[in-house]
């Protein structure tokens, strides 16, 4: 098993912390994992993305060549990164911000109104965690239960006050798919 997922969106949408959360959760399940942020001159106020690779063996290359999953938090990412996906890959997007136009025929797509769901929870900033909840449900890469258990470790002492709202966000996303 070796699964690559790319998270992408605007700089301010918490794209990188979404990826890191997934990576840490996978690590705490003793999986092999790499997290690779994109960087570069072109990032200046533009889009951000990162790639999380999860495997049960050594990971050869951490870069997102033909990822299995793309999670797109905004419109430009939706367009740009669906092309990277391997045939049969899965494109999950924030349907609150993304209009799912012109999609490749050989991939699966699913929208989830994560900004909306986050707003319902009272904090649009956890929109990224909502979508991560949904992603976990879809990908089955890690266990939500363990994630919730390990969450204090994952957030770290500085962000413990966000524990509850994050938990709710994960569950909201997870449950949205269930429904």
Q: What is the largest CA-CA distance in the chain?
A: 44
Distance CA 114, CA 128 (A): 7
Distance of CA 164 to CAs 20, 23, 80, 110, 169, Å? 18, 20, 34, 26, 9
39 scored as a contact of another protein (CB under 8 A): yes
Compare residues 46 and 62 and give the one whose CB is closer to ligand SF4.
Answer: 46
Give the binding range for another protein (CB under 8 A) out of 36-44, 105-113, 125-133, 141-149: 36-44
How many C-beta atoms surround the C-beta of residue 73 within 10 A? 29
Rounded least distance, CB 45 to ligand SF4, Å: 6
Q: Which of 14, 15, 35, 127 binds another protein (CB under 8 A)?
A: 35
Other Cβ atoms closer than 10 A to 176: 17
Q: Which of residues 49-88 bind another protein (CB under 8 A)?
A: 57-63, 65-66, 74-76
Residue 86 CB partners (closer than 8 Å, separation 6+): 66, 67, 68
Residue number, 85 or 172, with CB nearest to another protein: 85
Among 12, 30, 41, 44, binds ligand SF4 (CB under 6 A): 44
Question: What is residue 41's three-state secondary structure?
Answer: helix
User: Which of 44, 178 has the CB closer to another protein?
Assistant: 44
Nearer to another protein, 157 or 179 (CB): 157
Interacting residues with ligand SF4 (CB under 6 A): 44-45
């Amino acid at each position: 098993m070796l699964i690559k997922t790319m998270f992408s969106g605007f700089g301010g949408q918490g794209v990188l912390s979404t990826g890191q959360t997934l990576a840490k959760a996978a690590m705490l399940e003793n999986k092999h994992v790499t997290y690779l942020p994109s960087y570069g001159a072109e990032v200046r106020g533009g889009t951000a993305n990162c790639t999380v690779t999860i495997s049960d063996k050594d990971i050869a290359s951490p870069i997102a060549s033909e990822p299995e999953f793309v999670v797109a938090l905004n419109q430009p990412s939706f367009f740009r990164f669906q092309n990277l996906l391997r045939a049969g890959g899965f494109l999950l997007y924030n349907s609150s911000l993304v209009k799912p136009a012109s999609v490749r025929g050989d991939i699966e797509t699913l929208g989830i109104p994560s900004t909306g769901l986050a707003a319902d929870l009272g904090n649009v900033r956890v929109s990224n965690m909502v979508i991560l909840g949904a992603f976990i449900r879809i990908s089955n890469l890690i266990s939500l239960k363990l994630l919730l258990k390990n969450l204090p470790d994952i957030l770290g002492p500085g962000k413990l006050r966000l524990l509850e709202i994050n938990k709710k966000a994960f569950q909201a996303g997870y449950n949205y798919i269930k429904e």
